[in-house]
Amino acid sequence: MDAEVDVELREQVRKLCSRYPSEYWQKCDRARAYPEEFVQELTDAGYLACLIPEQYGGAGLGIREAAVILEEIHRSGGNAAACHAQMYTMGTVLRHGSPEQKERWLTGIASGAVRLQAFAITEPDAGSDTTSISTFAERKGDRYIVNGKKIFISRMQHSDLMVLLARTTPRADVEKRTGGLSVFVVDLREAGDSIRVQPVDTMINHETNEVFFDDLEVPAENRIGEEGKGFSYILGGMNAERILLASESIGDALFFIDRCKRYANERVVFDRPIGQNQGIQFPIARAYIRTQGAIAVRDGAVALYDAGEPCGAEANMSKFLASEVAWEAANVAMDTFGGYGMAEEFGIERKFREARLYLIAPVANNLVLSYVGQHVLGLPRSF
C-alpha cells in the first residue's frame, strides 16, 4: 500500500485505539457489552464514513484507507466487528439507490446520526446457499409485506437501519435461481412488533440474532434498485466485505505476532528466552512470512477494487489467506504463551476466539475454495 498516506492514517487510528487497551475489550467481553464508547469515537472521527462520498458528508476515501483503519483496530487488540458493517453495508445504497435514497440515508449515516450496521441475508434453512432463502416480501400497493426468518443477524440492536435480502418471486417461478430476490432498507425504529429479535449467544462477544418477520410493512420506496435483481446487488458488495474483513484478520495476525515477539524475548525458562528455542521461534517466523503473503494478496485486491476493476477472485483469496494466517498466528500465540495464553488477563484467549470466526463468516472458506475451483480454475461445478 502507498506508504505516505497510510503512515499518517495508521498513526491516527493507533492513537485512537490506544485509548481502548486490552482491559477495555476484556471488560466488554466479560459483560457481553457493546463497545459503545469505542464505536462512538470511531464514528465521531469519521472513520466509519470513510467510504461515503464527500457530497453526502463522508470522507470519500477508497477501500485502501478503510482496510488500513480496520487492520489497525485489530492489530491494536480491538475488534471492529461491532461496527465494521457501517462502513460497507451502505455500498448497496450508494451503487444502486436512487438520488433521493442516497440523499435520505447516506447523509445521516455519514454524520453518525443514523446507524446502518445490520444486514440480513442468512437463513436457517438456506445457510451458505443464499439463493435458497425463503423470507418473502409480497408487494401490496405501495408497500411490501415481509414474512420469514433470518439467523445470525448482527448488530440489529445497535442499528437504526437494516439492509434486507428477501424473495419477491418464488424460487419455483424464476428462470435462474439468482433471480427473484430484492433488497430493501428496513427502518428498525418503525418496525414495532413485526420484527422479533432473539439473541444468539456465541463464543465471542458479538451481538447477533435470530430474527422473525411477521407481516413487516416496508414502503416500496425503500426497495433498492429493481425488483428481482437484489442478489446481484448484494454480490456486488461482497468484494468490499471480503477485503475489509481480510484486513481485520491481517490485523489479528499482526497482533498475535507482535505479542509473541515481545513475550518470546522476555519469558525466560531454562535460563534462556523461550524465543531462542527454534520450536518457538520458527512458528512465529512462519506465521509472519505467511502474513506478508496475505498482505500482498490483499493489497492486490485493494488496488483492483479502487481502480474499479473486477476483483472477485482476489478479494475472496485474500479473505481466505488472511483468515487462515490469523488462525495460524492465534495458535502460535497460544503455544508461545503456554499456560498464560489461557489466562484472560493476557488477552490472547479472547483474540483467539475472535479470530476463529473469520474462517466461517462472512463466507465459509469452503465456499471460497469452491468459487476459486469453479470460477478461477474452470473445474466442474459442485453445487
Ligand X SMILES: Cc1cc2nc3c(=O)[nH]c(=O)nc-3n(C[C@H](O)[C@H](O)[C@H](O)COP(=O)(O)OP(=O)(O)OC[C@H]3O[C@@H](n4cnc5c(N)ncnc54)[C@H](O)[C@@H]3O)c2cc1C
Which spans of this chain sit near ligand X (rule: CB under 6 A)?
119-122, 127-128, 152-154, 202, 206, 208, 357, 360-364, 366-367, 370, 382-383
CB of 154 to ligand X, least distance (A): 3
Find out whether the peptide bond into 170 is cis, omega within 30 degrees of 0: no
Compare residues 120 and 311 and give the one whose CB is closer to ligand X: 120
The alpha carbon of residue 100 and the mean position of all alpha carbons in its chain are separated, in whole angstroms, by 27
> How crowded is residue 107: how many other Cβ atoms within 10 Å of its Cβ?
17
Compare residues 10 and 353 and give the one whose CB is closer to ligand X: 353
CB of 353 to ligand X, least distance (A): 11
Compare residues 57 and 237 and give the one whose CB is closer to ligand X: 237
Compare residues 98 and 366 and give the one whose CB is closer to ligand X: 366
CB of 119 to ligand X, least distance (A): 5
Helix (H) or strand (E) holding 254: helix 230-266
* Secondary structure class of 217 (helix, strand, coil): strand
User: Of the candidates 161, 155, 168, 250, which has an alpha carbon nearest to the alpha carbon of residue 205?
Assistant: 155
CB of 309 to ligand X, least distance (A): 26
The closest residue (CB) to ligand X is 127
Q: Which residues pair with 20 in a beta bridge?
A: none
CB of 7 to ligand X, least distance (A): 32
CB of 238 to ligand X, least distance (A): 11
CB of 34 to ligand X, least distance (A): 14
Compare residues 79 and 222 and give the one whose CB is closer to ligand X: 79
CA 186, CA 209: separation in Å to the nearest integer? 16
Q: Do 319 and 250 contact (CB within 8 A), yes or no?
A: no
CA 208, CA 211: separation in Å to the nearest integer? 10
> How crowded is residue 30: how many other Cβ atoms within 10 Å of its Cβ?
11
Compare residues 56 and 358 and give the one whose CB is closer to ligand X: 358
SS3 letters across 238-251: HHHHHHHHHHHHHH
* H-assigned helices in 45-170: 63-75, 85-88, 91-96, 99-101, 107-111
Compare residues 55 and 128 and give the one whose CB is closer to ligand X: 128
CB of 166 to ligand X, least distance (A): 12
CB of 362 to ligand X, least distance (A): 5
Read off the C-alpha cell for 44.
465521531
Task: Provide the strand spans (E) within the chain.
Answer: 116-120, 136-140, 143-154, 161-167, 181-187, 195-200, 208-219, 223-224, 268-269, 272-273
Compare residues 194 and 202 and give the one whose CB is closer to ligand X: 202
Distances from the Cα of 276 to the Cα of 20, 267, 329, 334, angstroms:
32, 10, 18, 17
Compare residues 157 and 370 and give the one whose CB is closer to ligand X: 370
Helix (H) or strand (E) holding 313: helix 312-337
CA 342, CA 358: separation in Å to the nearest integer? 21
CB of 290 to ligand X, least distance (A): 21
Compare residues 278 and 382 and give the one whose CB is closer to ligand X: 382
